[in-house]
């Protein structure tokens, strides 16, 4: 979980999103540009990172707790990644053909 927070924070610092939004004149309703926007977005990042870190932790520990026919944590993460990529590709193809999307 610590590595998930570290990685998310490093990526956050590289993007400098509050500065970019302020330079472009974009605002988040109810938030002051600059530091206020940065604090708000950092709060959202922390909440999303917590959910993602918990899911990764469960995916890593689940095969140890409940043995599933030779499925270890690495294989489980690969399967989840492939499924997410497949769903993303299906959505792109459906939107190209003017459909609403698979999940929306």
The ranges assigned to domains in the chain are: 1-66, 68-104
Convert the pLDDT of each residue in 45-104 to its tens digit: 999 999 989 988 888 888 788 877 777 778 878 888 899 899 999 888 877 777 665 555
Among 76, 83, 86, 82, residue whose Cα is nearest residue 55: 76
* Chain mean position to CA 91: 17
pLDDT at 102: 58
Q: Cα–Cα–Cα angle for 82, 51, 30, nearest 5°? A: 115
What's the pLDDT at 86?
A: 93
Q: Does the pTM exceed 0.75? A: no
Is the pLDDT score of 13 beyond 90? no
pLDDT at 24: 86
């Amino acid at each position: 979980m610590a590595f998930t927070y570290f990685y998310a924070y490093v990526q956050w610092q590289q993007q400098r999103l509050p500065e970019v939004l302020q330079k472009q004149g974009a605002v988040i309703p109810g938030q002051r540009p600059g530091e206020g926007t940065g604090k708000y977005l950092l709060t959202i990042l922390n909440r999303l990172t917590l959910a993602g870190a918990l899911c990764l932790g469960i995916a890593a520990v689940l095969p140890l707790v409940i043995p599933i026919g030779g499925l270890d944590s690495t294989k489980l993460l690969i399967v989840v990644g492939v499924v997410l990529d497949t769903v993303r590709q299906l959505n792109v193809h459906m939107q190209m053909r003017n459909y609403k999307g698979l999940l929306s």
